[in-house]
Amino acid sequence: MKKDIKYYMNLKYAVEIQELDKTEGGGFIASIPQLGKYAFQADGETVEKALENLKKVKEILFSRYLEKGIPIPEPEKEKPNKYSGKFLIRLPKQLHKMLSEKAKDENVSLNQFVQFLLTSQLVAYSFEEVMDDYINKFNIILQNYSDLHHQYELSSYRNTQKPVHKLKLIKKEYAEAV
């Protein structure tokens, strides 16, 4: 079979959908991580519109790739039973003993206790990532405020009427920008 645009458009790639926050304009972003999460990306007010726009992006990029002879990877096949829910871990004897004793104190199996510990730590780690993201965004806002504050010397405008007058002049002069 000839691998033309039609061939690649009919392949089923894994699509990732992300809902945008209202502060970012709302809507949804659809992307194909395997092909480049930021290259193969489109947005829309609904999931359906984002997917429709992603299809257009795919067609444009696939056409360019084919014209330039750039290889297009085919969808990765999902391996069945990739995760069985079991894995083997080697521990120092002392750690094994401590975990077993704690599990006994909690009146649960060693397996349940270790699962609880792993889950708790994973949740804490995820929470830490979210908090780091918010802290970074907050720091950007603070920096932008600081830049604005220094750029316009807002502190000198606080107790005088001059800044208001200057702002009125700007409004009159650039009315179309207001």
6-31 pLDDT, tens digit per residue, is 999 999 999 999 998 888 888 999 99
Which 3 state secondary structure label does DSSP give 178?
coil
What are the start-end ranges of the H helices in 17-82? 33-36, 47-68
Q: Is the dihedral of CA 117, 119, 125, 131 positive or negative?
A: negative
Phi and psi (nearest 5°) for 41? -145, 140
* pTM reported for the whole predicted model: 0.45
Q: How many residues does the chain have?
A: 178
The segment with the largest mean pLDDT, out of 51-55, 68-72, 165-169, is 51-55
CATH number of the domain at 5-68, out of 3.30.160, 3.30.720, 3.40.50, 1.10.10? 3.30.160
Buried b vs exposed e over 144-168: b needs ≥16 C-beta within 10 Å? eeeeeeeeeeeeeeeeeeeeeeeee
Query: For residues 55 and 77, which has the higher predicted lDDT (pLDDT)?
Result: 55
Q: Is the dihedral of CA 96, 102, 107, 112 positive or negative?
A: negative
Distances (CA, A) of 41 to 6, 23, 33: 19, 20, 9
Q: What is the mean pLDDT of the chain?
A: 80
CA dihedral (123, 125, 126, 131) in degrees, to 10, reads 120
* % of the chain exceeding 90 in pLDDT: 39
